[in-house]
Amino acid sequence: MSTKITKFGIHHDMAIILKIIKRVKSNNQIFKFRKSILQLVIVSFSISSLNISKASADETKSEQNSKLTSVNAAKSKKIIFKQVPSVKPGEFTYFYNEDYQIFTTQKINNIAYSHHCFKTKKPDCEAIRLSTLNNITIKLTNPEMQNYASAYCSEIYGKNMIAFDHEKKEYNFCRFQDGSLVASWALYKAKNPKINVDYK
């Protein structure tokens, strides 16, 4: 006997079984048939139980993932919306490594560099050394929308940061691994690099 087990498998099987019982006359046949019925019911019940357990486990895992996502989102929002600190005139601040960093600047050839470059008698830092690179070509894929100064900063191994002054005005600064910074747009205009546009 072939019986299809569905979501309501037990009820479906019993309906078929009752029809067949009416046709069974021999006591021996009835005994064998009852044994088959019992096995069929046990199998159906086992499959239903497994499906319920799996669904319950999946639901629990989904709830845990949802809670973890909510916690991470809350942490991200806390960082993103952290208030910009007040700074004095001549100071700048930018967000880096989960906190705001404060720095001052001095100019060399009308280009502002951060105080990190002036710790010794002779100014020296990555911002100064890498800003002297020549024959740099910046690659743009969307020149109408991209920040040219930021693209140039990336080409000289820096990362463009948004800094704020005491009036909360925004400025682009190119940051390097040693923590030194240089004014991105002033450097870009001074270097006037070649531009390679590659639309994708």
Q: How many helices (H) and strands (E) does the chain have?
A: 5, 8
| 3-class DSSP state of 136 | coil
Characterize the bridge pairing of strands 137-140 and 159-164. Answer: unpaired
Query: In whole angstroms, what is the distance from residue 103 CA to residue 101 CA?
Result: 7
Q: What are the DSSP calls for 146-159, one per residue?
A: S-HHHHHHHHTT-E
The closest alpha carbon to 21, from 3, 37, 45, 40, belongs to 37
Please name which of 144, 145, 156 lies closest in space to residue 184, comparing C-alpha atoms: 156
pLDDT at residue 80, rounded to an integer: 53
The pLDDT of residue 13: 58
Going residue by residue through the chain (200 aa), what tens digit of pLDDT does each one get? 444 444 445 555 566 656 665 555 555 565 565 656 666 656 565 555 556 566 666 666 666 666 666 555 555 545 455 799 999 999 999 999 999 999 999 999 999 999 999 999 999 999 999 999 998 999 888 888 899 999 999 999 999 999 999 999 999 999 999 999 999 999 999 998 888 887 65
